[in-house]
Amino acid sequence: MASGSRHPTGGSRNTAISNMVVRVTSEYTGRGPTQAHTHESGNVITVLLQDTLTKGERALVAHGRGDLVLTTRKVFQGTMRIDLTAGIKAITGRDVVAFMSDNHIDPDMAAEIFVLGPEQAEPGS
């Protein structure tokens, strides 16, 4: 952690963000992705997830219903928005001013993108 800060930085921050996104996804879908990689550049955080589909979603894809899987995932992402953005704020200390999310079926990947608001001064600074 940075000196005087209660928020993780660097690699520990990226790990905390990846773990939070996997946990929230698992809570909503019953299964979390098996891989998550977080990248931060300026005020943008991108989380790339791999192996995201549930067994049921894979069955739908195998039966030509990938469109239904993508539509359902979009609904989940809209529903998860509050928990995901709250998690980012808890980890970074910054508001999320924009959240974008999408899925891809083959290969099985998803991306969660968070745009952060300006940094706030720490209390007592």
Write the CATH number for 96: 3.30.980
pLDDT digits (tens, 9 = 90+) for 49-65: 999 999 999 999 999 99
- Alpha-carbon distance of 24 to 8, in angstroms, equals 19
If one counts the domains in the chain, the total is 1
> Is 123 a domain residue?
no
Single pTM value for the model: 0.86
Residue 125 covered by a domain: no
Query: Can you give the pLDDT at residue 2?
Result: 41
The predicted pLDDT at position 76 comes to 86
pLDDT tens per residue, range 110-120: 999 999 999 87
pLDDT in tens, 22-46: 999 999 989 999 999 999 999 999 9
Averaged confidence pLDDT in the chain:
91
115 touches 44 (CB < 8 A):
yes
- Residue 43 CB burial class (10 angstroms; 0-12, 13-18, ≥19): middle
* Dihedral pair phi/psi, residue 123, rounded to 5°: -55, 135
Q: Note down the domain range covering 80.
A: 10-116
Cα distance from N-terminal residue to C-terminal residue, the chain: 16
> Does residue 121 form part of some domain?
no
pLDDT band at 3 (very low <50, low <70, confident <90, very high): very low
